[in-house]
Amino acid sequence: MTEETNLNTLKARFRGYFPVVVDVETAGFNANTDALLEICAVTLKMDEEGWLIPDQTLHFHITPFEGANIEKAALDFNGIKDPFSPLRGAVDEEEALKEIFKMIRKGQKAENCQRAIMVAHNANFDHSFVMAAAERSKLKRNPFHPFATFDTAALSGLALGQTVLAKACETAAIPFDNREAHSALYDTERTAELFCEIVNRWKRLGGWPLPDLATPAQETDGKSSE
């Protein structure tokens, strides 16, 4: 990086990727057969001093797609009593994803990033459901990388010694109310705070920006070895 490069940008920090925190609530574990019932996405930004903070949030309740499998055990877990209730104010997958993708593309463009990358807790699960829903909805302009993610379960295991979201947040001094858990909105907001804390903690410890490493030639005569 040159001296002119602004390191306090998402583009510089994440190699051109635009991180977006996502959580989904579902009616099972199979992204291809089980209903997507709720989704939330939070974009991130850096302040002038290079600290990562949450930015914009979009949240939707979603109606099960036609023919979707619904496991009662999953509903008992996430507390969604009736996925078809009009009181949920749910929209279909296509409408929800179009709005979320629109927000992501706008933020990605503003940050001059090449592609969005999903941040999630046990990210493979959320990523698989978003990708499956986008395919069912025939959305060709999916901003997310097709397989790369930032998994906060793995990152918090490394940085905090905890892999469960509630325990990781507690260790990081982020308030977490278990009564609110398994709501896509609540879990996404806490995951966003957790990811920001891990990234910012690494910065506070001196891990970013990367130190300039002198080559042996530079150490001896001040000349660059090419």
**CATH at residue 117:** 3.30.420.10
Whether the per-residue pLDDT at 222 is higher than 70: the answer is no
Q: Within a domain: residue 211?
A: no
Q: Which residues are catalytic?
A: 182
Pairing status of strand 52-61 against strand 36-46: antiparallel
Q: Within a domain: residue 173?
A: no
| Mean pLDDT within 174-198 | 97
Q: What is the pLDDT of residue 215?
A: 38
Give phi and psi for 120, each to the nearest 5. -160, 160
Q: Within a domain: residue 198?
A: no
Q: Within a domain: residue 87?
A: yes
The pTM of this model reads: 0.91
The domain total for the chain is 1
| Mean pLDDT within 122-139 | 99
Question: Which residues sit in the known binding site for Mg(2+)?
Answer: 23, 25, 182, 187
Residue by residue, DSSP assigns 93-150 as HHHHHHHHHHHHHHHHHHTT-SEEEEEETTHHHHHHHHHHHHHHTT-----EEEEEEE
- Dump pLDDT digits (tens) for 13-24: 999 999 999 999
Q: Within a domain: residue 120?
A: yes
Q: Within a domain: residue 1?
A: no
Question: Which residues sit in the known binding site?
Answer: 23, 25, 182, 187
Which token pair is 76? 């008992």
Whether the per-residue pLDDT at 42 is higher than 70: the answer is yes
Q: Within a domain: residue 96?
A: yes
Nearest to 39 by CA among 125, 115, 105: 125
Other beta carbons within 10 angstroms of residue 130's beta carbon come to: 24
Q: pLDDT grade, residue 223 (50/70/90)?
A: very low
Q: pLDDT grade, residue 5 (50/70/90)?
A: confident
Q: Within a domain: residue 217?
A: no
The whole domain housing 73 covers 10-150
Mean of the per-residue pLDDT values of the chain: 93
Whether the per-residue pLDDT at 214 is higher than 50: the answer is no
Q: What is the pLDDT of residue 226?
A: 42
Q: Which residues contact 203 (CB under 8 A, 6 or more apart)?
A: 50, 51
- Dump pLDDT digits (tens) for 95-106: 999 999 999 999
Other beta carbons within 10 angstroms of residue 61's beta carbon come to: 19
Q: pLDDT grade, residue 112 (50/70/90)?
A: very high
| Mean pLDDT within 118-134 | 99
